[in-house]
Amino acid sequence: MFVGTEMLKQLEEIKQKAQQEMDAVKDASALESWRVRYLGKKSELTRVLRGLASLPIEERKAVGAFGNELKSHLEEVYQLKEMALKEAQLKASAAREVIDITLPGRRLPVGHLHPITQTINEICEIFTSMGFGVVDGPEVEWDYYNFEALNIPEGHPARDNMSSSWIDHKAEPGGRRMLLRTHNTAVSARMVETLRPPIRVVSPGKVYRYEASDATHTPMFHQIDGLAVDKGITMADLKGTLYEFARRFFGEDRRVRFRCDYFPFVEPGVEMAVECAVCHGGGCRLCGNSGWIEILGAGMTHPHVLQRGGIDPEVYQSYAFGIGIERLPMLRYGIDDIRLFYGCDLRFLRQF
Ligand code: DAH
């Protein structure tokens, strides 16, 4: 009898079983166990083919050929399935990660200018519309421009009122000293020296006082100093300019008040106050119970200051003013603590 017949039958059975099981394979791990079962070293196929040796030579050839064919057939079936699974997986992940290009983009938060910067811009606009130019000066300043040129020599009591932050504590005797400027009038002192009349400039910027913070003080705050030099300038020009500024910034109804004051670099000197926005004159924490808030100092520039800058006070007259900036938005919006501007609390800052 043909011994190989039985073996061929077994091989045929393997082929069919393998195909059936392969049809049921749905994922990589099932595929792998299929591979071990039908193509691995201990597979049924290997076991059957091991029996080849016992066949007569003629049959061995025929059955061997069939066995080899079956083996490459199973390998092909395996590879096809492997490819099909990979493709299906790719399709699935592509479907999962699909990008909908019609969706609107994510909005980035857009910032805006700090309320103090906004206020500076607004004040500069008011003064430029009246013919003033905007100038700038250094925040680290020489003693000369901050004090000396402004009639505040060494030992003058006005120095003590302006708690200075000195840069070089141990300057040589007679040496030039530097400090963080305590007021922006230092820029006006520079302008008297560098510009020639007619002069009309404002200089906004940061100033520094070595002081503790409270509801109305911070060690850094902002001022805008103004300077006008021309022939025939009078106190009436100063008052007119500042009234117009107050009217444009606060509106028609807000009352303003001028009173005499003393500053070493002006003569006469005045202060201008605005009715308190929080209590409307009744008295509160913001205005220290007076009903008024001083927002600027001003006056007719002292002849010595002009002279130092090389401008003849017999020919030219001049006025100057210095506005405290933080107080303006405080007055306008009824903010009763200056520290809010520098506390970085976005709930506060976003309101402006
Ligand atoms: N610099 C003064 C201060 O910080 C304010 C001031 C007063 C400025 C009178 C002026 C002025 O230009 O004329 O207290």
pLDDT tier at 48 (50, 70, 90 boundaries)? confident
From the CB of 299, is ligand 1 less than 6 Å away? yes
CATH number of 115-349: 3.30.930.10
Q: Could you tell me the distance, in angstroms and rounded to a whole number, from the CA of residue 225 to the centre of ligand 1?
A: 7
Q: How many CA atoms lie within 13 A of 184 on its CB side?
A: 28
Domain definitions of the chain by residue range: 2-96, 115-349
Q: Could you tell me the distance, in angstroms and rounded to a whole number, from the CA of residue 263 to the centre of ligand 1?
A: 7
Average pLDDT, the chain: 91
From the CB of 221, is ligand 1 less than 6 Å away? no
Q: Could you tell me the distance, in angstroms and rounded to a whole number, from the CA of residue 299 to the centre of ligand 1?
A: 8
What pTM did the predictor assign? 0.71
Other C-beta atoms lying within 10 Å of the C-beta of residue 199 = 21
pLDDT, residue 215, reads 87
Name the residue at shortest CA distance from atom 12 of ligand 1: 321
pLDDT tier at 73 (50, 70, 90 boundaries)? very high
Top-ranked range on mean pLDDT: pick from 40-49, 54-63, 187-196: 187-196
Range with the poorest average pLDDT among 87-91, 165-169, 209-213, 329-333: 165-169
Query: Is residue 2 over pLDDT 90?
Result: no
- Identify which has the larger pLDDT, 207 or 8: 207
pLDDT, residue 169, reads 61
Other C-beta atoms lying within 10 Å of the C-beta of residue 133 = 14
- Pairing mode, strands 256-261 and 266-275: antiparallel
- Give pLDDT tens digits for 167-225: 876 666 666 789 999 999 999 999 999 999 999 999 999 999 999 999 889 999 999 99
pLDDT tier at 321 (50, 70, 90 boundaries)? very high
**CA separation for the pair 105, 347 (Å, rounded):** 25
Other C-beta atoms lying within 10 Å of the C-beta of residue 157 = 8
Three-state DSSP class for residue 19 = helix
Q: Given CA atoms 101, 102, 108, 113 in this order, what sign does their dihedral have?
A: positive
